[in-house]
Chains A and B, each alone.
Chain A
Amino acid sequence: MDLGNHAGFILASYGLSILVVVGLFAWVVLDGRAQRRRLAELEARGVHRRSQGQSQSQSQGMGMSRSAQPTTGDAR
């Protein structure tokens, strides 16, 4: 495959694109692993979200009502 006189510009374009996209992808994957590890550590310490606590309370017959609007921090 002959990329002609401007092969350097073509290879630099594709190389830079691969570098940035792979870097972005790796950042998201590593961040995901870190967040899941932190979540697991908190759960191992017995910390639960309110909704989880309420679910447990309800299952124990305490009948606490759930909040009407779910949020990303307190998801049902």
Chain B
Amino acid sequence: MRLIDYANPTRFLGLVAKILPWLAGATIVTFAVGLWLVFFRAPADYQQGETVKIMYIHVPFAWLSMFCYMTMAASALGTLVWRHPLADVSAKCAAPIGAAFTFLALATGSLWGKPMWGTWWVWDARLTSVLVLFIMYLGLIALQETIEDPLRAAKASAVLTLVGVVNIPIIKFSVDWWNTLHQPASVFRMGGSTIDASMLVPLLIMAVAFSLLFVWIHLMAMRNEIIRRRIRTMRMIEAAGAE
């Protein structure tokens, strides 16, 4: 079966029904292992002490805030170029999840920054560009909800999503391009990670757990949206039949 065959929503729903229980199990197990490592195995940082435990949720939230946006960008291409019937559903359902993860990246960063930097917030390039990402998520959600016709809403939000992609490299490289309080990349960088394995392994496991959680919630939300659009179609048929 080719990937394009899953453009058929009914076939897609069948696949989702099969995948979801396995995805739920994998997410729960990965979180259990990750949290056990974080709270019972990972050492305290020699400078930050136990406050480094915030890193194990802050960093995955930050990564996923960008990954979620790139998922929406890929879906936007699917909407505009290939007119894939599920692409818009994917983009629309990813937006609230991306907004939630971006909010948590900002909030946990702020709660980490206060004891370490001595301030809740600074208007530096990294923090400001992530705040812009959060506002873009909210704008896209508002746009999708404002336009009643799903096709028009899909095209408008796809164009806006693709325009907003320019913010992703700004977020990623802001710590290299500008002087900032935020530390530079320490996991994915030239020359390898600067984090010790005792902290890197729990961090990567937590990142996998949050990624699985994202896919789990995204697929459930897509299933809901497909059913919502079916209901809309059926109500229109019912209304047309009543005239």
Q: Which residues of A contact B (CB under 8 A)?
A: 1-7, 9-10, 12-14, 16-17, 20-21, 24-25, 28-29, 31-32, 35-36, 38-39, 42, 45, 47-50, 69-76
A sample of 12 inter-chain contacts (CB < 8 A) reads: A3-B50, A9-B54, A10-B50, A10-B54, A12-B111, A16-B111, A35-B224, A42-B235, A48-B237, A50-B233, A73-B150, A74-B233
> Once the chains bind, are A31 and B224 in contact (CB under 8 Å)?
yes
Per DSSP, chain A at the interface is helix
- Distance in angstroms from B9 CB to nearest chain A CB is 4
In the bound complex, residues from chain B placing their C-beta under 8 Å from that of A5 are 49, 115
> Once the chains bind, are A47 and B234 in contact (CB under 8 Å)?
yes
Give bound CA distance, A65 to B150, whole Å.
25
Output the nearest chain A residue to B40 by Cβ-Cβ distance. Answer: A1
Partner of B8, one of A4, A6, A39, A76: A76
Per DSSP, chain B at the interface is helix
Q: Does B231 contact A (CB under 8 A)?
A: yes
> Once the chains bind, are A28 and B224 in contact (CB under 8 Å)?
yes
In the bound complex, residues from chain B placing their C-beta under 8 Å from that of A9 are 51, 54, 111-112, 114-115
> Once the chains bind, are A72 and B100 in contact (CB under 8 Å)?
no
> Once the chains bind, are A72 and B57 in contact (CB under 8 Å)?
no
- Distance in angstroms from A66 CB to nearest chain B CB is 11
Q: A4-B49, A21-B213, A28-B217 are in contact. Are A13 and B54 (CB under 8 A)?
A: yes
- Distance in angstroms from B19 CB to nearest chain A CB is 15
Give bound CA distance, A72 to B10, whole Å.
9
- Distance in angstroms from A20 CB to nearest chain B CB is 5
> Once the chains bind, are A72 and B50 in contact (CB under 8 Å)?
no
**New A-B pairs, 20, CB < 8 Å, besides A6-B49, A10-B51, A48-B237:** A1-B39, A3-B50, A4-B51, A9-B112, A10-B54, A13-B111, A13-B112, A16-B104, A17-B104, A17-B108, A28-B221, A35-B231, A49-B234, A70-B8, A70-B9, A73-B150, A75-B8, A75-B226, A75-B230, A76-B10
Q: Give chain B interface residues in 205-243, CB to chain A under 8 Å.
A: 213, 217, 220-221, 223-235, 237-238
In the bound complex, residues from chain A placing their C-beta under 8 Å from that of B228 are 35
In the bound complex, residues from chain B placing their C-beta under 8 Å from that of A20 are 100, 103-104
Q: Does B126 contact A (CB under 8 A)?
A: no
Work out how many contacts link A and B, with CB atoms closer than 8 A: 126
Q: Does B33 contact A (CB under 8 A)?
A: no
Q: Does B85 contact A (CB under 8 A)?
A: yes
- Distance in angstroms from B209 CB to nearest chain A CB is 11
Give bound CA distance, A32 to B108, whole Å.
29
Q: A2-B50, A24-B97, A75-B9 are in contact. Are A70 and B85 (CB under 8 A)?
A: yes
Indicate the member of A12, A16, A47 with the most B CB atoms within 10 Å: A47
Partner of A7, one of B50, B89, B114, B231: B50
> Once the chains bind, are A35 and B44 in contact (CB under 8 Å)?
no
In the bound complex, residues from chain A placing their C-beta under 8 Å from that of B88 are 72
Nearest 8 Cβ contacts at the A-B interface = A75-B9, A73-B233, A73-B229, A4-B50, A35-B227, A6-B115, A72-B229, A13-B108
